[in-house]
Amino acid sequence: MASRVYRIGVVGASSLVGKELSDELAESPLAASNIVLLEDEDDAAGQLTSAGDEVAFIQKIDGSSFNHMDFVFFAGDEDETKRHWQQARQSGASIIDLTYVLEGEKDVLVMSPWVNEALGGHRNELHLGTQAVVPAHPMAVMLAFVAAKLKAKLPVATFAATVMEPASEHGRAAMDEMHQQTVSLLSFQDLPRAQYDAQVSFNLLPSLGESTKVKFAATEERIQKQYAALSNGELPALAMQLIQAPVFHGYVASVFVELAVEATKEQLEQALAGEHIDLVTDGSEPPSNLSAAGQEEIMVRLAGDFSRGGKGTRFWLWLAADNLKLAALHAIACAVELRRLRPSGKVQ
């Protein structure tokens, strides 16, 4: 029996994560699929773009856009998802929502295949009634995956993170405003504050202004909530603070870990090593939002006091990852899991 050629829609294809997703789909296990790029906005519809190495046009969403779709990725803004997800569901498509609009909806699963595998599988299982999933937030995946890797080998007593958030996590408008603030500061002009309602250029902030359009507090709550959901009671509780960083791209996090028993540096490195992790040694350039750009793995560097006979219980991890690439790769991993629920065979 021939393998099926799927029809895949990417709604919000002109967004930052939508563009990254389109490129990654072309290199993924779903690469043989027919990929349709979709947008609600008239300005974006008709644009010439690419999906991997293939030239593609962005199509305007209409009443027939989701006909015969197998998978629909929602990667644009929240309003676009709200307007069209029911239409995609009624067409019979499996939905992967990167906008988090469907989080909390009945029968919609927040999932991470990577974390599930690190925990031994059989958690947050898909079932025949699962038609929509929300891929967990990139930082929730990073933290839960690292915690699961450690927990598989060593007992973790404390797990605390300070997370630096980039502007690109909130789209082009946020990136543009950070850029405009930088230019304005250097030329001694008033700062634009339409998105952040605060000075974010050359600054670090644990909260934003009252009129901010960037949902900073909601993001912090989402990461903590999703980490708890992914852990299913098996991972250490997460203590976390989110900081708005003056960078355009890439997540970084400083993570403090305390073990219930002493361990050597080699034991910790062995626990962390494996798929989806790039373990950076002391002799190499440390992970950063710049060095993580374009990388598929979560970059991890280990530091700690191992002076007591080469062992210790308290140490630090420095994590870095390309937030857009991680979101795209993880969403595709969710779709590959959903593929198990769809009929196989030759396309009609």
Collapse the DSSP code of 321 into the 3-class scheme (helix H, G, I; strand E, B; otherwise coil) and give the result: strand
- Tell whether 151 and 121 lie within a shared domain: no
CATH number of the domain enclosing 301: 3.30.360.10
- Tell whether 110 and 231 lie within a shared domain: no
pLDDT digit string, tens, across residues 218-264: 999 999 999 999 998 999 999 999 999 999 999 999 999 999 999 99
Rounded distance between C-alpha atoms, residue 202 and residue 189, angstroms: 15
Neighbours of 267 (CB within 10 A): 15
User: Where in the sequence is the domain holding 82, given as residue range(s)?
Assistant: 7-136+328-339
- Tell whether 231 and 297 lie within a shared domain: yes
pLDDT digit string, tens, across residues 144-179: 999 999 999 999 999 999 999 999 999 999 999 999
- Tell whether 306 and 228 lie within a shared domain: yes
Q: Is the pLDDT of residue 346 over 70?
A: no
Residue 64 resides in a domain: yes
Q: Is the pLDDT of residue 344 over 60?
A: no
- Tell whether 106 and 253 lie within a shared domain: no
- Tell whether 314 and 190 lie within a shared domain: yes
Give percent of the chain above pLDDT 70.
91
Confidence label for 51 from pLDDT (cuts 50, 70 and 90): low
Rounded distance between C-alpha atoms, residue 347 and residue 256, angstroms: 50
Residue 348 resides in a domain: no
Euclidean distance between the first and final Cα of the chain, in Å? 13
Q: Which residue, 148, 145, 105, 108, is CA-closest to 126?
A: 108
- Tell whether 254 and 117 lie within a shared domain: no
pLDDT at 347: 38
- Tell whether 304 and 164 lie within a shared domain: yes
Q: What average pLDDT does the chain have?
A: 90
Rounded distance between C-alpha atoms, residue 131 and residue 111, angstroms: 13
pLDDT at 199: 96
Q: Is the pLDDT of residue 315 over 80?
A: yes
Rounded distance between C-alpha atoms, residue 106 and residue 120, angstroms: 26
DSSP string, 108-131: EEEE-HHHHHHTTS-SS---TT--
Confidence label for 348 from pLDDT (cuts 50, 70 and 90): very low
pLDDT digit string, tens, across residues 65-121: 999 999 999 999 999 999 999 999 999 999 999 999 999 888 899 999 999 999 987
Give the number of domains in the chain.
2
- Predicted TM-score (pTM) of the model is 0.91
**Which range among 36-50, 91-105, 124-138 has the greatest average pLDDT?**
91-105
- Tell whether 236 and 120 lie within a shared domain: no
**What is the mean pLDDT of the segment spanning 10-19?**
93
**What is the mean pLDDT of the segment spanning 45-72?**
77
Rounded distance between C-alpha atoms, residue 10 and residue 346, angstroms: 22
- Tell whether 170 and 23 lie within a shared domain: no
- Tell whether 254 and 176 lie within a shared domain: yes
Rounded distance between C-alpha atoms, residue 114 and residue 184, angstroms: 42
